[in-house]
Structures are given as structure tokens and as C-alpha cells.
Chain A
Amino acid sequence: MCGVAGIISKQSAYLGNDLINMLKELLHRGKDSTGMALYEDRKDIQIRVALSDTQYEKDLKAIIAKHATVSSERIYQGEGIFSFYEAALDMAPEKIEQLNWDIDGHPELCVHSLGQHIKVYKDQGSAEDLQKRHEIPPASASHGIGHVRLATESIENINFAHPFVSYLYPELAIVHNGQFTNYFNMRRKLENLGIRFKTNNDSEMAAHFLAYQMKEKGKDLEEALYRGLETFDGVFTLLVSTENQIGALRDRLGIKPMLYFEQDDHTVLFGSEQICLTPIVSDVYATEMDPGGVMTWSV
């Protein structure tokens, strides 16, 4: 089933907390994993990587040392077998793509986020587990998207959990509710363009597709989403975020739900169900997004 949630709140000092609270209300839509992408107001480049075993830490550090110097770091155990490495890096922004590519080349390492604003937390279990285990700061962030997963298309593995990012456009993150039925055709097309996939999850294709449209084709988020609407086949409700925008895309039959509520100029809430908006606004009438709709909001 899966559930998605998102929030834009320019004035919130607790956006991380707010998003977690929204995801807690969506627990019934998926318990396999929970994830969120936050866009923080910060100056440095930060990285988050999942390691299948702590013995690969030295491999990871060797790869990072080729492109960057580490100013602060931590490594800790996740809910399951995976460990997480988080660090602030001193590096040139134009080397981000190469570093991302190199780390993902290692079979036991997976980049969850690497960029100037973005930070992705994803792990197995509920939103409550994620909050406890990962010590997510209350975070003065401007916007974020989140996801609860009920695995239907690929294995239960935290690297297959949402949000998905793409090395082509490091600040882009997507969460997806649904299934792409033209995944293999699309994957073949994108691989022919030289794009490398890290997982077998269908939603990763959407991340690479949109990142490719924005990076290589020079389209903006809205154009990329329209291109996605023409190209993707199947059932999909997508929330897509970049460093300064959140976009939403819904398939033409409107199979998967998507509600949004614009509180004022500063706050917009998104969610699969009305109940996930209640931690922020207790009793409002949220608008259902149109089937076949594309919408974007600037932060």
C-alpha cells in the first residue's frame, strides 16, 4: 500500500519532528520501512551512507578521502543489520556526483544522501523506531518529504526503501506510492543512456528519470514531472523534492490517494490520508489532487 507525506514550512524550527509525527499517523499504510528527506538550512556538504557491515567502513573512508576531507563524522547501528555513516565533508560541490558514483560502485555501500541541503533518513520499522534510532534532530529545515513502505515490488532492504535519490541530481528526492508497470523498459532505456541503477526497486527508476530530465535535458521540475506523466505507466502518486521546490504527480486514474492543504503562504501539507495532517492542523478540509495532475510549490 505505502503512504506518502510532505511539508513545506518556512518558519518551523521543528520540521523534522512535524514530519515524523505525520508519518506516525500513516503507520497502518506500511510497516516495512520508514524514510524521510529533509532540506536543512546549513552551509556544509553532508553525507549519509548505509553499510551492510561495519567492516566496510575502511573502504568507505578510502573512497571519501579521494574527493573530500571529513570535518566531523559518526557511525552507528540501525534497526536491523545495517550500519549508518554520517559525516560533514569539506569538498568542492562539483565533485559530489563523482563521489556518489564511486561509493555506489561498492556492492556493500549505498549512498542515502549527499548534498548541500538534503539529508535522507531511512530504516526498517516504524516512524517511531526511525526517530529513536537515528536521533533525528528537531531540525530547522524548510521542507521535507516522507514515506512509509509496504514492500510490493522488491525485497525488504533499507536501500530499497524510500526516499530515493539520484547521483545525477543530488538534491532531488522522490517518494512513491504505487507500482510502475513499465519499469523494465524504462530501466533499459535509462541504462542505455549510461545511467547506473543501485537497486531493483521500480521507484528508483523515477528518481533517475526525473534527475536525468532536469540535469541533462535542462528542464525544470514541473516540465520533468509532465514528462514523467507521459512516460510512466502504472499506478503512481509521487512527491518529489529539490532544494527549493516540492512537486506532486498523480496518475490519470487517480488510484492512489493524495491530499494537500495550503495553510498560508508559508505552510503547505501533503499526505496520503487526512489523518496524517492532523498532528499539524487538527480539523481542516484538505483538497484531493486531480488525477493526471502535476503541481509544484516553491519553498
Chain B
Amino acid sequence: MVSLDLTGMTSRAINRKLKELIATEDEIEVVNSHSAHNLATALIGKGRIVVNGSTGFYTGGFLEGPTLLIKGNTGWYTGDNMLSGEIIVDMNTGSNVAPSMLGGTIVVRGNSGSRAGWGMKGGNLIVCGNVGRWTGKMTLGGRIIVLGEVGEGIGESMYNGVIHVLDQAVDAKLGGNSRVVPIDDKEKREVETLFRKYGIDQGVDDLRSIVPNVYGRHEYTLFKPTHKRGRQE
């Protein structure tokens, strides 16, 4: 394990150093994080980064592979466009956590702000505390789990994917074009596995799912012309 002190470093220098270290080290400890912005952005690798403190905006954006454990808070757009790996935040995140996320897992042990999981396309987002308004707006895939209270307009204009919530008052706060359905057994098993993996002490039986409404034609037939070009006489 190596230790990296961020005092006086610019975000570009931090990321260059992390990139260099992740190639050889299994675990990197970051101290004096001073709410640094863009920490571990576009980092590719397999190691584990432990941040003893809080980080700023765009923490772990485009992350591909590493595990990022932040022992404090993070700013907005945590895990922006994340591809794979893990981000675990022990305290709160700012708004717009996991926007356009494609894969991997983000766990927020505290609360998050509004627009959590905006336009998410894949992966898992677990918020153990409360979330603000417009959670999971326009999501295209993936799974969001919220164990605390949710804000207004949850699941607004969802296309695909699922949001599991514990908040019993969710029906009154539902966004347009989405509905609340009971959680099915396959989902229960998957969520249980996630909870066990991240040490979240919570049963899955009270969870309910928010899924998009389905309208119109959902099966398409490709147009295959059968006529043959004839010779003109």
C-alpha cells in the first residue's frame, strides 16, 4: 500500500499520479484530499483507492475497474459516466450522483441530493439515506435502490431500468410515465446479493419497484422488400 498526499496538487497532477500508481499498486491511500475535484476521473485498472476525507465534483467520472472508497462526502456528479468498478461513499454525496452511468456499483451510505441516477444506462446505485427530487429521471437502464425518503418526481420519464424504494409514500411523489409495482423474486435475490456484498443490513421484502409505463408498439418488424428488379422491356 502506498500513501498519496494531495496537498498543493492540481487535479491534473493528482490524476496523472493515480494513473501511474494504479498500474503497480493494489491499494492506494489518499490523505489530505481537501475536497479535490475530478479525483480518479477516467482511471482504468484493478486496484483499490481509499480516500481519507471528502472529495469535490466529478469524483470517479468514467471510472473503469478500480474500487474507490471515500470516507467523507463527495460533491456533485459523483461517478459521472462510470463504466465499471465500485465507488463507496461513507457519508453524503452532492446532487446528480451516477448520471449516465453505464456499469459498476455506487454505494452512498448517507444521503444524496436531487437527480440521482439521471439518465443511467446500467450498473447499480444504492443510496442508504434520502434522495432529493427527480431521482432516476430519464433512466435508460440499470438499477437504483433508495432506502430512505425519496423526493418529488421520482422515475420521471423513465425509458427502462428499475428503481427499488422503501419509502411507503412514494405513490404520491411519482413522476410522469412511471408506475409502482411489487418487487419480484428474481429482483429480490439480486438485491439481497448486493446488500450482502456491501454489508447493508436491510431486508428486501418491503421494497417496491418503480418501472416505466409501457405504451404503443413495442415489437417492430423490419421492412424486408421481396420484389425483384425486373428488366424493363
Q: Are B133 and A285 in contact (CB under 8 A)?
A: no
B88-104 contacts to A (CB < 8 Å):
91-92, 94-95
Interface size on A, residues (CB 8 A): 10
- Choose the segment among B24-32, B109-117, B181-189 that binds chain A (4+ C-beta atoms closer than 8 Å): B109-117
B35 on the A face (CB < 8 A):
yes
B155 on the A face (CB < 8 A):
no
Docked Cα-Cα span, A167 to B94, in Å, equals 39
Residues of A contacting B94 with CB < 8 Å? 274
> Given the known A-B contacts A285-B110, A285-B111, A288-B114, are A275 and B133 also in contact in the complex, defined by CB atoms under 8 Å?
no
Docked Cα-Cα span, A216 to B207, in Å, equals 54
B75 on the A face (CB < 8 A):
yes
The range of chain B's interface size is 10 to 19
B73 on the A face (CB < 8 A):
yes
> Given the known A-B contacts A274-B94, A275-B35, are A283 and B113 also in contact in the complex, defined by CB atoms under 8 Å?
no
Q: Which residue of A lies closest to B57 (CB)?
A: A273
B132 on the A face (CB < 8 A):
yes
Residues of B contacting A32 with CB < 8 Å? none
Q: Are B73 and A283 in contact (CB under 8 A)?
A: yes
Main secondary structure of the interface of B (DSSP, over half): loop
Docked Cα-Cα span, A283 to B92, in Å, equals 10
Docked Cα-Cα span, A283 to B132, in Å, equals 18
A233 on the B face (CB < 8 A):
no
A290 on the B face (CB < 8 A):
yes
Residues of B contacting A274 with CB < 8 Å? 73, 75, 94
> Given the known A-B contacts A285-B92, A285-B110, are A290 and B35 also in contact in the complex, defined by CB atoms under 8 Å?
no
Residues of B contacting A290 with CB < 8 Å? 133, 152
Q: Are A288 and B110 in contact (CB under 8 A)?
A: no
Docked Cα-Cα span, A291 to B153, in Å, equals 12
Q: Are A288 and B35 in contact (CB under 8 A)?
A: no
Docked Cα-Cα span, A290 to B152, in Å, equals 10
B58 vs chain A, min Cβ distance (A): 13
Residues of A contacting B56 with CB < 8 Å? 275
Docked Cα-Cα span, A127 to B148, in Å, equals 38
Residue ranges of A at the interface with B (Cβ–Cβ < 8 Å): 254, 257, 273-275, 283, 285, 288, 290-291
List of 9 A-B pairs having minimum Cβ-Cβ separation, nearest first:
A288-B132, A285-B111, A288-B114, A288-B113, A285-B92, A275-B35, A274-B94, A288-B95, A290-B133
Contacts A283-B73, A285-B111 aside, 19 further interface pairs with beta carbons under 8 A come to: A254-B114, A257-B95, A273-B75, A274-B73, A274-B75, A274-B94, A275-B35, A275-B56, A275-B75, A283-B91, A285-B92, A285-B110, A288-B95, A288-B113, A288-B114, A288-B132, A290-B133, A290-B152, A291-B133
